[in-house]
Structure 1
């Protein structure tokens, strides 16, 4: 039997990338040949996102591109958007199968011979049936591995479709994660980024959904795993990033001084309308504690601008709050309406032009914050872990506190930890560095 080839395309977050990688390994274990997206594959699997703008347009565009490479290909859509709008996606020309959250990890079994139906088929159970936790990790893509340790969300933020797309919060046990990390260590992985939908809500649950373990338990256990140089905690809600976790990371051997903490708004009024589970005072306390125990820590912040009801004064309150916080960079998102959420029904819609203006202001603030953060580290010695991405003869690496360092490409540096002295920030907003005495790591 002729070996079929399969190619993947991922939209969205690091969690999606880890799941795409896991599905890819299932194909390879069944004898399929994994190829690049542009290499005329027999089967295309497109992993979609519902958080980014224009999910439908992006999905259609990727399908169209896949069929350009091979008009006879079998096209499958999975991911958050597939769970939310399966029938709509099935009607996109060229789509043969749509799989929901509970089905995507059984894709190879469900579709079996990948025989093309006359019209797109939907395999999507109600989201209430997505109750099993499926481990996943990215592998072979970068020096860093993204490890999924949690899925789903029990929160009900008024702007978010994730609970509808991924179901209730669930995860494996601490022991099962440690076992997976030990196996990854055997492959030579040096850095692992812990990912999840609501990462801080990690924890094995009992029959009545009582908590048997928590995220702090996981962090402590992973710190003892030999063979992994670095762990990073990806986005973690401020109400779940406890003092215990922060203080533990400060004295940890392996957890990096790098946090990404969603804020969404610096206005308590807007946080209330968003149904967030904290207010700005708690957020400021988290930042202050991190900087007290880890002065060089990098802190990233998610912000949504133009939420319904956000007046100019509400926005300026957010701007001033962020300007005064000792943070390192921002991820800024203009508010985007999502069907089946509460937010679009709220009064006080902010028009698109105003959303764009506010987004531009905060992104400019982010650049200033990031450059200032980098400049504070000029002259310091630190370890840089170099990645295998090469662009125009340049490679990049990261310090423990997530400063991006530029270097001339050297194959011997890929995946290696190198002790360097940081020197200055270049026009591309990358840090330059030098080996002790001779400046060679520069743009």
Structure 2
């Protein structure tokens, strides 16, 4: 055991891979260490502690984690290296075997990094069996004063055939509405204008407290000082009409949805053990469009899963061609040890996966450009983000159109009315004419 005074002049570096939920949790770890005198290492400084929050959604994610850990050791050769996150929970011994990893903490231990750091026991992996993961660690990313990521839920009870997340994060659980509202109020006091609600399966909110996701949205909608909320990825069967109607009626919840489809083939959805079919998915999207014609609708889709025949992919492509979404997030299927999908045949060759991915990415580009083009010449309100002096500033409209303008420090973290002009030079955002200045 090391006395707390030992840490007062120490520095820590933080590294995060994967989802926005991981970023929120890393921020919470950073605040805990800062409360005990461990400040964040500045660029170029040698850190005494390095915390790595890992992802394991694909084999590529595991590989990136290993590469990052080795790079950290070269940059901070004397640091005490702690690895946590999904990769650490799923494969603790594999992570511990990476050169110079000192401590591996699983999902249940992620919220108690400081206690384990005090004990400073090297060469140890501390994890909890998935069935006994119960902790909900409050987390809110505060790394950007413009946008905060508020963790409202963790874990998943769905056990889709291709996914390891329930094994990495445990069963569905959540914070209490009163506590989450208090966190949102804290963000408002700090000057934050936008909060993104994050979790593994956020629409399943209430499993551990008896509350509902709709109750949470209503409570957050009443928090003064927060101008914008966005709902991160939410399952199609949980985007209820009531949730859609609340967003449509609210001035704070933005017309922006991110809904995982995963496949536009009902045959593949059944193999995936998903809890909806394409008919339900279409109804959800059409309901959003009927109430919010200009809403941004992002859709996740996986190509090349086991069992995805040419006919299944053709069904998926046709379904998406006729679906009024705004953008696709396309992922190539990656086999994960221990998943039920490994029993399914046939296996899709890598080159076929790549070709199918390219086909859907091209479709996504066409849909996104059409969505942006439809807004050129319109007026909108943009929340601009911080940027380096002299560079271009970026921000987003309520319906998540990326906007670019010349650098002006006064615009950062301010809701600014603009007229949307044409595309920028590299085709990644729309330029804008400011209609008023702060």
TM-score by length of 2: 0.95
Among residues 367, 375, 378, which one is paired with 1:377 in the alignment?
A: 375
Among residues 309, 317, 320, which one is paired with 2:318 in the alignment?
A: 320
Q: Which residue of 2 aligns with 1:45?
A: 51
Q: Is the 8 A contact 1:48 1:79 kept in 2?
A: yes
| Pair 1:331-2:334 in alignment | no
Among residues 170, 173, 198, which one is paired with 2:176 in the alignment?
A: 173
| Pair 1:124-2:127 in alignment | yes
Gaps of at least 5 residues in structure 1 are 207-211
Q: Is the 8 A contact 1:44 1:74 kept in 2?
A: yes
Cα distance, 1:390 vs structure 2: 4.0
Task: Give the whole-Å Cα distance in 1 for the aligned partners of 2:258 and 2:101.
Answer: 36
Q: Which residue of 1 aligns with 2:3?
A: none
Matches within 5 A, 1:238-387: 238-387=236-385
Structure 1 SS opposite 2:215:
helix
Q: Is the 8 A contact 1:9 1:37 kept in 2?
A: no
Q: Which residue of 2 aligns with 1:209?
A: none
Among residues 77, 87, 93, which one is paired with 1:87 in the alignment?
A: 93
Q: Is the 8 A contact 1:12 1:52 kept in 2?
A: no
Q: Is the 8 A contact 2:384 2:412 kept in 1?
A: yes
Identify if the C-alpha distance between structure 1 residues 392 and 331 changes in structure 2 by more than 3 Å, giving closer, same or farther: farther
Task: Give the whole-Å Cα distance in 1 for the aligned partners of 2:232 and 2:100.
Answer: 36
| Count of aligned pairs between the two proteins | 430
Identify if the C-alpha distance between structure 1 residues 391 and 366 changes in structure 2 by more than 3 Å, giving closer, same or farther: farther
Structure 1 SS opposite 2:84:
strand
Task: Give the whole-Å Cα distance in 1 for the aligned partners of 2:44 and 2:290.
Answer: 49
Q: Is the 8 A contact 2:145 2:191 kept in 1?
A: no
Among residues 412, 415, 421, which one is paired with 1:414 in the alignment?
A: 412
Task: Give the whole-Å Cα distance in 1 for the aligned partners of 2:42 and 2:334.
Answer: 32
Give deviations 1:111-135, integer Å, cap 9, x for gaps: 21536x3xx2111121222112111
Structure 1 SS opposite 2:279:
helix
Q: Is the 8 A contact 1:371 1:429 kept in 2?
A: no
> 4+ runs of 1 displaced by more than 6 Å?
none
Task: Give the whole-Å Cα distance in 1 for the aligned partners of 2:388 and 2:227.
Answer: 23
Structure 2 SS opposite 1:54:
helix
Q: Which residue of 2 aligns with 1:183?
A: 186
Task: Give the whole-Å Cα distance in 2 for the aligned partners of 1:52 and 1:390.
Answer: 33
Identify if the C-alpha distance between structure 1 residues 76 and 247 changes in structure 2 by more than 3 Å, giving closer, same or farther: same
Cα distance, 1:55 vs structure 2: 3.3
Task: Give the whole-Å Cα distance in 1 for the aligned partners of 2:388 and 2:279.
Answer: 42
Q: Is the 8 A contact 2:55 2:62 kept in 1?
A: no
Q: Which residue of 2 aligns with 1:150?
A: 153
| Pair 1:63-2:62 in alignment | no
Identify if the C-alpha distance between structure 1 residues 223 and 113 changes in structure 2 by more than 3 Å, giving closer, same or farther: same
| Pair 1:163-2:166 in alignment | yes
Identify if the C-alpha distance between structure 1 residues 161 and 204 changes in structure 2 by more than 3 Å, giving closer, same or farther: closer
Q: Is the 8 A contact 2:172 2:207 kept in 1?
A: no
Q: Which residue of 1 aligns with 2:221?
A: 223
What is the alpha-carbon root mean square deviation over aligned residues? Answer: 1.6
